Amino acid sequence: MLDLFSEEQPWQETLAEGAVILRRRAREDAEALYQQIMAIAEQNPFAHRITPGGHRMSVAMTNCGDFCWSVDSRGYQYQQQDNLNGRKWPAMPPLFRTLAQQAASEAGFPGFNPDACLLNRYEPGAKLTLHQDKDEKDLRQPIVSVSLGLPAVFQFGGFERGDSTQRVLLEHGDIVVWGGPSRLRYHGILPLKPGVHPLVGAWRYNLTFRRAF
């Protein structure tokens, strides 16, 4: 039986051209990453944002970095302040930036320097519908996505919402990187199943690094 929390060595798995999973790549840094997430949440708590259509997102979010992704009645955009409280986002911890840069380089995208990190917190039942990351100014820059905590099923599709998707289990410490010819592929997360992770409890945390400007 597979032990989801075992300490096997990292390896790389290809999803498509320009898209890879770096399995277990963040496990060594997981405890330090989690502590930094908690410190960021103390400064700017996780919150369930309301979409332009008036729907409450099932995923709670916060951010760190110079420019961070947000959503409100006006739509989706990058901002230097949180539109809920008007304060600047917390700075991106050096550990976050270094991990994102190293992961991008290992996936074939050297020189990545993120200026935004979206932190999502999933509780059981939370999901992220299929979408494209296309609000960034330079779409030549990759997306780096780090998973911590409970496992989740990642959907990775094509360039139209109705295209068929791959369904891949993402576990604690996995990093997905996609860019180049895969940069605008649709992707999402199926509803999270209940469980308890020894580090983060009954949650899944996702750190998504972008170059917004």
Q: What is the pLDDT of residues 76-114, one digit of tens each?
A: 889 888 877 888 999 999 999 999 999 999 999 999 999
Establish whether 187 is an annotated binding residue.
Answer: yes
Establish whether 206 is an annotated binding residue.
Answer: yes
Establish whether 76 is an annotated binding residue.
Answer: yes
In the prediction, which pLDDT does 7 show?
A: 55
Establish whether 62 is an annotated binding residue.
Answer: no
The percent of residues above 90 in pLDDT, for the chain, comes to 82
Establish whether 140 is an annotated binding residue.
Answer: no
CA distance 146 to 156: 15
Establish whether 89 is an annotated binding residue.
Answer: no
159 phi and psi, to 5 degrees?
A: -105, 0
- pLDDT at residue 2 is higher than 60: no
In the prediction, which pLDDT does 191 show?
A: 98
Establish whether 23 is an annotated binding residue.
Answer: no
CA distance 136 to 210: 8
- pLDDT at residue 4 is higher than 60: no
Mean pLDDT throughout 57-68? 94
In the prediction, which pLDDT does 5 show?
A: 47
CA distance 78 to 116: 9
CA distance 39 to 47: 15
Task: Answer whether 66's CB lies under 8 Å from 115's CB.
Answer: yes
CA distance 97 to 95: 6
CA distance 170 to 15: 12
Establish whether 208 is an annotated binding residue.
Answer: yes
- pLDDT at residue 1 is higher than 80: no
Q: What is the pLDDT of residues 171-209, one digit of tens each?
A: 999 999 999 999 999 999 999 999 999 999 999 999 999
Could you tell me which of 186, 187, 59 has the C-alpha nearest to residue 118?
Answer: 59
Establish whether 24 is an annotated binding residue.
Answer: no
Establish whether 186 is an annotated binding residue.
Answer: no
State whether residue 89 is helix, strand or coil: coil
Q: At 74, list the tokens.
A: 């006006």
Query: Which pTM value belongs to this model?
Result: 0.93
Establish whether 210 is an annotated binding residue.
Answer: yes
Average pLDDT, the chain: 93
Which domains does the chain carry? 11-210 (2.60.120.590)
> Measured on CA atoms in the order 170, 119, 178, 154, is the torsion positive or negative?
positive
